[in-house]
Each structure stands twice: as structure tokens, then as C-alpha cells.
Structure 1
Amino acid sequence: MTFAANWTPSDHFGMWQLIVAILGFGLAFWQLVRTANATVASNKALQRRLLHNDLLVMLPEVHALEDAVDRAARVGERDDVSMALVSYSRRVTSMVGALKSDAALKDHKVTKALAAAAKAAGELKATLYDVEKPDVRALVRPVQVKIQTASRETGEVLAALQRSGESTDGKKRGRAVR
């Protein structure tokens, strides 16, 4: 310790300043890492909540469009069915895009069912005018089955998302969507 024995009080004070500065820097860095992690977690939770809200808004619209397809199919008017299918396909395609933005729902069966229903609706719209006098009800029936399957799956996912959200007392519940 002969090295430290030759130090003046100013040297000792300078050494303590350096130690405190290093400790302060380490503490500040640790706090920045914690803040960054909390921000990432908060952003993910916010994105999930926004998706949940978007789906809650979209679902009644999709149900109304599903009803429009059913009504048009019962009447059997090709132009009405075509317009209903286009409206359904467009809205559901945007819903699929919203679902694909969430990693947990990207390859989920609801996303696949909605995409299949939208694709079937679009394809049927394109083929409605290929036949002179088509049996519209018979042509629409397979698409209606896909639409109903997608609607059922969507309802189940929304129920799971609601269960995974915050309860009324503010406590978090476990994740239900897998």
C-alpha cells in the first residue's frame, strides 16, 4: 500500500469521486435497461389491447355482412349476392390483416378460417357471371359454410381475448389465446 500512502487527501477524494461516478453510471444504465424493457412490454400490451378493440368493432360489421350475404342468397339475385360477397371479402381481408399483425394470432385457426372465407367469397363473386342462369343459392352455400365457420372461430377468439384482458377490478388474468 505504499502507492496509496503517498496520496494527498485530494487524491483520495478524487478516487472516491471516480468510484461513485462509476457506481452512478452503472445504476443509471441498469435503470435505462429496466425502463426499455418496461416500455417494450407496455407497447406489446397496448398493441394487443388495440387489436382487441379493433376486433370488437369489426365483428358486428362482419356479422352484418354475413347476414347480407344470407339475405342476398335467399333472394337469389346475382347482383345483390355479388355486392354482398365483395363487401364481406373486403372487410374480412382487413380483419385478417389486423390478426396477422399479432404474432400469437398470425397462424391461428381463426386467421386461416377468415382468410379462407374471404377468398371463397371473392372467388365466387368472380364466377357468378360465368354461367348464364346460375343457381345462386347452390353456388353460395359452400361459401356460407366457410363464412359461418369463420364467424364461430372469431367469436371464440374474441371471448378468449376478453378473458385474457383486464378484469373490472384492474387485475390481470392469464393469457387465453394460444
Structure 2
Amino acid sequence: MGNADRVLSPEQRAELLRTLQARFEKNMNRHPGLDWAGVQSRLEANPEKLWSLHEMERTGGEPDVVGFDSQTGEYIFVDCSPESPKGRRSLCYDPEALESRKEHKPAGSAIGMAADMGIELLSEQEYRDLQKLGAFDTKTSSWVQTPPEIRRLGGAMFCDRRYSTVWTYHNGAESYYAARGFRGLLRV
């Protein structure tokens, strides 16, 4: 997909900004001390990031600001949908795992789709930090960034929340399930 394909129409841009502002204002507990004017200004200066946020929204992620990096001046957006985004489920972990499947291949991989969207998977710590803002993935699970030493051995990690506790598990990287997707992170 070329850069020309990664540009929102004025209507899409306006609709996305309205959606993001409404979510931002409804969930102030996720970003105390931050104001929408600063976020909007940063978004308008980075149209390629708006495209990525549009993809997060389109696939069911409900992205919202969960932090601000004072060193870089970047706002941190994360998928805040109650369950793993519907448009990003039934994916194996990465392109290598997808290639290794001989039959019953999923439609794609979490790492590959995230790269196509211009976002990254949450790390295990970022996933745990998100869970401090609410109860996410109580019926689903989400792939998280897997350390290279685990991936080299064929595994991949995922997390969920059950019994008011955040759990980290492992599975073969080539596995995929209807209730497992991934949550993304975008710095703007």
C-alpha cells in the first residue's frame, strides 16, 4: 500500500477526530491532566498517524490516549475496546508462523497486520498498564510482543484478564483462535 492510499478524505478525518474527541472526553480517567486541544494539534500535524488511528478504529480497537511521553512530546494511543478488536482476531503471531502452516492457514498474522496498520503490538508491561485503566479482555485474549528467545523456540505470548487478574500465557506462534486478537499502540 502506497502513501497515497494512507490519506484520509476530509470527511473521514473530521469523523475520526469527532470520534476520538468524544472517547477522550468520556474517559478522562485514562489520561488525567491532558487536554484534547493538545492531542488534536498533534494529530493534525501528523496525517499519517491519523490514517493508522482510522485503521485501529475500523478494525474495532476504539483507540484512546493512555499517556504522554514528556521527553518526545508524543501522545500514546492504545486500543481500549472492552474485548480484543473484532477485526483483528483469528490471526497467528507473525509472518514466519503464518508461512509455517501447511494447511488451515489463518487470514494473516498479528505482527504483519500491525505493521500494515503502522502500529505495534503491546508489550506485556504495556498490556498490564492498560489493565490498570479498566477490565479488558475478560472474554478474549490478545497477542503481546514476544521476546526473541521465546520466539526462536517457536512460541509466542498472549494475555487476558480472568478472575480480576491479568494472566500471561504461551502458545505455538502458528496457533490462532477466534477469541484471540491483538491490541495496538501508536505514538503521535
TM over 0.5, shorter chain: no
- Asked which structure has the greater RCO (Cα within 8 Å, sep 6+), the reply is 2
Between structures 1 and 2, the one with greater strand share? 2
TM-score by length of 2: 0.26
TM-score by length of 1: 0.27
